[in-house]
Structure 1
Amino acid sequence: MPGHQPSPEPGADSTALTLNVELHLGEGEFMELPMRFGYRADAPFAVAMAFPGFDPPTRTWEFSRDLLWKGLHRPAGTGDVRIAPPCRCHRPGRLRITLRADDGTAVIDVPAGPLRRWLRAQVFALVPRGREAELIDWDAELTRLAGGR
Structure 2
Amino acid sequence: MNQPVNRRVAADVSMHVTVECFDVRGRAHQIDTVLGYHRRDAYAVTMTFLVGQGELTWTFARDLLARGVNNPTGDGDVLVAPGLGPSGRAVVHIDLRSPDGEILLEAPSAAITEFLLRTCALVPPGTESGELDLDGLVRQLVAG
Bin the TM-score by the shorter chain: 0.7 to 0.9
Contact 1:47–1:62 (Cα < 8 Å) also in 2: yes
The corresponding residue for 1:58 is 55
Question: For 2:54, what is the secondary structure of its paired residue?
Answer: coil
Question: For 1:58, what is the secondary structure of its paired residue?
Answer: strand
User: Which residue identity is paired with 1:132?
Assistant: E
C-alpha distance in 1, partners of 2:11/2:136? 22
1:49-80 deviations in Å (ceiling 9; x for gaps):
0012x232232000110000001011111011
1:63-121 deviations in Å (ceiling 9; x for gaps):
110000001011111011111112479x751111011111110000010111102211x
C-alpha distance in 2, partners of 1:126/1:102? 34
Aligned pairs for 1:55-94 within 5 A: 55-87=52-84, 92-94=89-91
Question: How high is the sequence identity, in percent, across the aligned residues?
Answer: 30
Contact 2:21–2:31 (Cα < 8 Å) also in 1: yes
Number of aligned positions between the proteins: 144
Q: Which runs of 5 or more structure 2 residues have no equivalent in the other structure?
A: none
Task: Evaluate the alpha carbon distance shift between residue 9 and residue 125 of structure 1 in structure 2; reply closer, same or farther with a 3 A threshold.
Answer: farther
Contact 2:11–2:36 (Cα < 8 Å) also in 1: no
Alignment RMSD (CA, Å): 2.5
Contact 1:10–1:36 (Cα < 8 Å) also in 2: no
Aligned pairs for 1:58-137 within 5 A: 58-87=55-84, 92-120=89-117, 122-137=118-133
